[in-house]
Chain A
Amino acid sequence: MRECLSIHIGQAGIQIGDACWELYCLEHGIQPNSVVLDRQQDQLENAKMEHTNASFDTFFCETRAGKHVPRALFVDLEPTVIDGIRTGQHRSLFHPEQLLSGKEDAANNYARGRYSVGSEVIDLVLERTRKLAEQCGGLQGFLIFRSFGGGTGSGFTSLLMERLTGEYSRKTKLEFSVYPAPRISTAVVEPYNSVLTTHSTTEHTDCTFMVDNEAVYDICHRKLGVECPSHASINRLVVQVVSSITASLRFEGPLNVDLIEFQTNLVPYPRIHFPMTAFAPIVSADKAYHEQFSVSDITTACFESSNQLVKCNPRLGKYMACCLLYRGDVVPKEVNAAIAATKSRHSVQFVDWCPTGFKVGINNWPPMVMPGGDLAKVHRSICMLSNTTAIVEAWARLDHKFDLMYAKRAFLHWYLREGMEEAEFLEAREDLAALERDYEEVGQSF
């Protein structure tokens, strides 16, 4: 019951997915060959394992042979990245049918991902999704991992989301999106892709958690002492957040948070569904045990901009809702005290119309880190998902870049060639402008 299907789209989605399932396997004691690690320790351990087998189920499917296969799908329009998984460390974890690749890629072009190349692959993807969904007793929803700026991540995702809404209308769909970094860009046409995909996916997604490469890069560089952070370091940090968000789905805990609960508690209006993520404590492995982090320490830390995974300034906006997901050695008494302290701080401003803005989740399973990684193992951690009006800054930046390029119709012909029309661009831009206005409106006082 309560199963979740993860769909990883495009290079970003697939690389995050790789790190993500590696971490899940570590947390559940699953070996790279899908077998659960047989712990030959005292009885209490075994009792514990039996108890948690039920929770495995949400993310892993147990086959008759005793193997645990992830409930995931990896999709890309070109084969190189997926081949990396097919030949990588975890190749025996996944069934070959879960790794789907096309032959011609989207070339950073939303139109190709959505119309020309994407439309050839979509039916196969939906078929596989159906198969995975049939294996579930009570599918809760989908978790989609993708980037905004890439061709597959933007175009193919919007196509997929539309079709998923058609087939599975009552299932939750949550997204983990890599937002284009303000100063580091990987593609010139990122703004186009991002605006177009946001316009077409907004009505089909229930909640989109955003992560931005620049913010994570800065964290790795400043806090973790990594001189030149690679995508591997960045992804390892991002999956800690993903793991925290899905922890209550995978482990029993005193205060669980379901997928639907995220929606209910974080999304005040259907279109205002872009929470910002933050994580604490972020400690370098070289400084393990140097400092003790109490519950109130980590709660305060996640309101600092240096712990955020998106570059925006929450002090310039107001919080509409806040979800605090604690992991590890955390007791409710301390959490209540920490939250009370936060509410009394002036720097954390809530909108007038939301007096109790906090949702708390507690899971006692300790956070784990990948061996040989940059993070130190800590006793407790917190992941904060906050819906703040300050995120409109991110949209404004994107829209501005879009406007600059669109004014000159630069690079537009690549999209028009694949069958898109200028009208779609205008529509998308209008939609984003409306989104910005919506954010401003909710942030206003009575």
Chain B
Amino acid sequence: MSDTLTADVIGRRVEVNGEHATVRFAGVVPPVAGPWLGVEWDNPERGKHDGSHEGTVYFKCRHPTGGSFIRPNKVNFGTDFLTAIKNRYVLEDGPEEDRKEQIVTIGNKPVETIVNCSCSGIKNNYFYVFYIRKVDLSKNLLSSWDEVIHIADQLRHLEVLNVSENKLKFPSGSVLTGTLSALKVLVLNQTGITWAEVLRCAAGCPGLEELYLESNNIFISERPTDVLQTVKLLDLSSNQLIDENQLYLIAHLPRLEQLILSDTGISSLHFPDAGIGCKTSMFPSLKYLVVNDNQISQWSFFNELEKLPSLQALSCLRNPLTKEDKEAETARLLIIASIGQLKTLNKCEILPEERRRAELDYRKAFGNEWKQAGGHKDPEKNRLSEEFLTAHPRYQFLCLKYGAPEDWELKTQQPLMLKNQLLTLKIKYPHQLDQKVLEKQLPGSMTIQKVKGLLSRLLKVPVSDLLLSYESPKKPGREIELENDLKSLQFYSVENGDCLLVRW
């Protein structure tokens, strides 16, 4: 296309040596003669200026180095859809009976829509493209949704349409051109589309089942009322402006089964309409939720997910809460225990064994907290604090399932420090009643010989004269001799609070 000084060239998408841009200006730029095109690059650093040259502003760019002036013949406007298909698949004109290909991928070939398809009478050429079910027009030079519809309208059986990475201009009016009645999958990743525009486009796709909107800086601004009601999968990854409040607006899509919220910066979710232990009315059909690469750092997130009525699978990788490798195992068990109906976590099936282990671990881990919050085996005496119930909504259920945690289960292991292993012993001298009763802390591993040595220094009595025995308050009246010097106090089962008897 060499005729470039017509006004309709403005807004068209072009390609120059692999870089895509939008035409913003066409005309003369003095002092250099000849026609120039002013373009705004997709890549903001590719250009030389922001649309002005020697003081005069020819067009505006969003970025100071986003624009350039280029000669029209250096620029590629692309080809039309049919030509692109012919070029790629090297097809002959006329109908082909044996059309096997259902997928048409015009991935990297610049395609711009035909402006003259039906009126120049080449309708019959559409015979062989008529049965196309899947079209991939990503990374092309389509500049508006109308152009997309123009192509798609002719393809009556179109089920999958991918127009990612095309900077499209969307219709502003509420009236839409064309209906894509067979369309099931629509992919609009990286098109710069807004939520309002999504809803308008979706109005033309009554049977839409999967909608992909990755990386569009979407901000969900309104609740879809008549549209998107058949959607089963919604991909909102990498839209950093989304937060949990916006999710309420899509919470009532009746058929939504899979929701992908990876890399959206989400840190929490709340379902205020449901109390502890109840199910929310939001997201009624949601089976699979993906929240990888987010900012989830609170365990309460999973307690909220427990409120979802249909949730079966969750993917929650690379969040601050689950990041540490060492704790990945514990994190997994805690998540499983928090969400009762979960069947698959991070694409690994949760086997009944694993669920049991996770729930028992959870019950034990928070047992002491439960006790302190008023928990008790006897249902009559059980009065749990609000705080505990909010933090551990499933705890009561776990107690019912496995029984309340026993005391012996909850005994915490004392850390292995020396001071925890010392036995506090009283030392009495039965023959010397005037001597004071001493209290000493001795390690259990101390041998009798060493104990005697200690006492000998204390009492100024030679070691060989000492005779040791001990008695325990647990067994009053019984005295046990400590006759073997080489054995330790532990060997004789001397315990905390016992009393050593020294005679000489």
The contact of A286 among B100, B103, B134, B292, by CB within 8 Å, is B292
- Say yes or no: is B143 at the interface (Cβ < 8 Å to chain A): no
Q: Which residues of A contact B346 (CB under 8 A)?
A: 225-228
A378 to chain B, nearest CB (A): 10
- Say yes or no: is B164 at the interface (Cβ < 8 Å to chain A): yes
- If A51-B98, A226-B346 touch, whether A331 touches B189 (CB-CB below 8 Å) is no
- If A292-B138, A294-B107, A329-B101 touch, whether A286 touches B348 (CB-CB below 8 Å) is no
- Say yes or no: is A97 at the interface (Cβ < 8 Å to chain B): no
- Say yes or no: is B136 at the interface (Cβ < 8 Å to chain A): yes
Contact of A379 with B292 in the complex, beta carbons under 8 Å: no
Q: Which residues of B contact A229 (CB under 8 A)?
A: 348
Interface magnitude class on chain A = 20 to 34
- A289→B238 CA distance, assembly (Å): 13
Contact of A47 with B103 in the complex, beta carbons under 8 Å: no
| Residue in A51, A225, A374 with the greatest tally of chain B CB atoms within 10 Å | A225
Chain A 369-380 per-residue mask, 1 if CB under 8 angstroms from chain B, else 0:
000001000011
The contact of A227 among B138, B262, B317, by CB within 8 Å, is B317
Contact of B97 with A47 in the complex, beta carbons under 8 Å: yes
Contact of B262 with A289 in the complex, beta carbons under 8 Å: no
Contact of B97 with A292 in the complex, beta carbons under 8 Å: no
- Say yes or no: is B40 at the interface (Cβ < 8 Å to chain A): no
Q: Which residues of A contact B214 (CB under 8 A)?
A: 289-290
The contact of B105 among A47, A224, A374, A380, by CB within 8 Å, is A380
- Say yes or no: is A410 at the interface (Cβ < 8 Å to chain B): no
Find the A residue at minimum CB distance from B317.
A225
Contact of B189 with A44 in the complex, beta carbons under 8 Å: no
Contact of A328 with B131 in the complex, beta carbons under 8 Å: no
Q: Which residues of A contact B489 (CB under 8 A)?
A: none
- If A225-B317, A225-B347 touch, whether A286 touches B107 (CB-CB below 8 Å) is no
- Say yes or no: is B366 at the interface (Cβ < 8 Å to chain A): no
- A379→B104 CA distance, assembly (Å): 9
Q: Which residues of A contact B162 (CB under 8 A)?
A: 289
A327 to chain B, nearest CB (A): 11
Contact of A292 with B164 in the complex, beta carbons under 8 Å: yes
Q: Which of A186-206 contact B (CB under 8 A)?
A: none
- A289→B162 CA distance, assembly (Å): 8
- If A290-B214, A292-B165 touch, whether A233 touches B103 (CB-CB below 8 Å) is no
Find the A residue at minimum CB distance from B187.
A289
Contact of B315 with A225 in the complex, beta carbons under 8 Å: yes
Contact of B103 with A366 in the complex, beta carbons under 8 Å: yes
Q: Which residues of A contact B46 (CB under 8 A)?
A: none
- Say yes or no: is B251 at the interface (Cβ < 8 Å to chain A): no
A220 to chain B, nearest CB (A): 8
- Say yes or no: is A42 at the interface (Cβ < 8 Å to chain B): yes
- If A286-B260, A290-B237 touch, whether A225 touches B292 (CB-CB below 8 Å) is yes
- Say yes or no: is B74 at the interface (Cβ < 8 Å to chain A): no
Q: Which of B320-351 contact A (CB under 8 A)?
A: 328, 332, 345-349
Q: Which residues of A contact B487 (CB under 8 A)?
A: none
- A44→B99 CA distance, assembly (Å): 7
Total interface residues on B, CB under 8 Å, equals 42
- Say yes or no: is A288 at the interface (Cβ < 8 Å to chain B): yes
B373 to chain A, nearest CB (A): 32
- A406→B108 CA distance, assembly (Å): 57
A444 to chain B, nearest CB (A): 41
Q: Which residues of A contact B503 (CB under 8 A)?
A: none
- Say yes or no: is A230 at the interface (Cβ < 8 Å to chain B): yes
Find the A residue at minimum CB distance from B105.
A329
A29 to chain B, nearest CB (A): 14
- Say yes or no: is A147 at the interface (Cβ < 8 Å to chain B): no
Find the B residue at minimum CB distance from A285.
B347
Find the A residue at minimum CB distance from B99.
A44
Majority-rule SS of B interface residues: loop
Find the B residue at minimum CB distance from A365.
B100
Contact of A48 with B107 in the complex, beta carbons under 8 Å: no
Q: Which residues of A contact B131 (CB under 8 A)?
A: 42, 44
Chain B 129-157 per-residue mask, 1 if CB under 8 angstroms from chain A, else 0:
00100101011000000000000000001
- If A286-B260, A292-B138, A292-B164 touch, whether A226 touches B347 (CB-CB below 8 Å) is yes
- If A292-B139, A364-B100, A379-B103 touch, whether A224 touches B212 (CB-CB below 8 Å) is no
Q: Which residues of A contact B187 (CB under 8 A)?
A: 289
- Say yes or no: is B88 at the interface (Cβ < 8 Å to chain A): yes
B310 to chain A, nearest CB (A): 16
- A380→B347 CA distance, assembly (Å): 24
- A164→B290 CA distance, assembly (Å): 50
Q: Which of A361-415 contact B (CB under 8 A)?
A: 364, 366, 374, 379-380
Contact of B164 with A286 in the complex, beta carbons under 8 Å: no
Contact of B88 with A331 in the complex, beta carbons under 8 Å: yes
Find the A residue at minimum CB distance from B128.
A44
| Residue in B105, B164, B212, B315 with the greatest tally of chain A CB atoms within 10 Å | B105
Contact of B98 with A227 in the complex, beta carbons under 8 Å: no
Contact of B189 with A290 in the complex, beta carbons under 8 Å: yes
Q: Which residues of B contact A48 (CB under 8 A)?
A: 98, 100
Q: Which residues of B contact A380 (CB under 8 A)?
A: 105
Contact of A374 with B136 in the complex, beta carbons under 8 Å: no
Chain B 180-197 per-residue mask, 1 if CB under 8 angstroms from chain A, else 0:
000000010100000000
- A294→B109 CA distance, assembly (Å): 11
Find the B residue at minimum CB distance from A51.
B98
Q: Which residues of A contact B134 (CB under 8 A)?
A: 379
- If A366-B103, A374-B347 touch, whether A227 touches B136 (CB-CB below 8 Å) is no
B280 to chain A, nearest CB (A): 24
Find the B residue at minimum CB distance from A293.
B107
- A230→B351 CA distance, assembly (Å): 12
Q: Which residues of A contact B99 (CB under 8 A)?
A: 44
- A78→B56 CA distance, assembly (Å): 86
Q: Which residues of B contact A374 (CB under 8 A)?
A: 347
Q: Which of A225-268 contact B (CB under 8 A)?
A: 225-230, 233
B247 to chain A, nearest CB (A): 18
Q: Which residues of A contact B138 (CB under 8 A)?
A: 292
Q: Which of A72-103 contact B (CB under 8 A)?
A: none
| Residue in B131, B134, B237 with the greatest tally of chain A CB atoms within 10 Å | B131
Find the B residue at minimum CB distance from A290.
B214
Find the B residue at minimum CB distance from A233.
B347
Find the B residue at minimum CB distance from A253.
B100
- Say yes or no: is B504 at the interface (Cβ < 8 Å to chain A): no
- Can you name 13 A-B pairs with beta carbons within 8 Å? A48-B100, A51-B98, A286-B260, A286-B262, A286-B315, A289-B214, A290-B214, A292-B108, A292-B138, A292-B164, A294-B107, A328-B103, A380-B105
| A287-B262, A364-B100, A366-B103 given; 16 more Cβ-contact pairs under 8 Å | A42-B157, A47-B98, A48-B100, A225-B292, A226-B346, A227-B328, A230-B349, A288-B235, A289-B187, A290-B189, A328-B103, A329-B105, A331-B88, A331-B90, A364-B101, A379-B134
A positions within 8 Å CB-CB of B? 42, 44, 47-48, 51, 224-230, 233, 286-290, 292, 294, 328-329, 331, 333, 364, 366, 374, 379-380
10 closest cross-chain pairs (CB), A and B: A227-B346, A226-B347, A329-B105, A228-B348, A289-B187, A329-B103, A286-B290, A289-B212, A227-B348, A292-B138
